[in-house]
Amino acid sequence: MLKYYSKTCFQEADILTIVHLSDIHYEPMYLPGGNAECDAPMCCRSDQGLPSRPEAEAGYWGAYTCDAPWNVFDDTMKQIKKAHPVKKKYIYIYAF
């Protein structure tokens, strides 16, 4: 049998803050300036060479045809910590 509790049953110290990030699509081989227009399912990887034209370069913060570089995830975590400065532990749940 489920037991339901009202908010008044818990002290402030009992509140758990959770940051849940899902599906970040990190690309460990991401290369800023790499080829964002390739024939592969995912582009911008260091083993795919440089683009034939400047407009096809992968940006520092990513490109539409690519999974995200690490700095996107890293900066996201810094911004979350800055916006919510609490002394809590974080659990990272993600799929690479």
To which residue do tokens 């890293």 refer?
Answer: 74
The answer on pLDDT for 76 being more than 80 is: yes
Q: Which residue would you say has higher pLDDT here, 77 or 84? A: 77
Mean pLDDT within 46-65? 95
**pLDDT digits 0-9 by tens, 6-40:** 556 656 556 666 777 777 888 999 999 999 999 99
Q: What is the pLDDT of residues 56-75, one digit of tens each?
A: 999 999 999 999 999 998 99
Torsion of CA 64, 62, 70, 16, to 10 degrees: -70
Residue 1 has what pLDDT?
Answer: 59
CA distance 28 to 96: 9
How many Cα atoms within 13 Å fall on the side-chain side of residue 1?
1
| Phi then psi dihedrals of residue 42, to 5 deg | -125, 140
Report the alpha-carbon distance of residue 72 to residue 17 in Å, rounded.
22
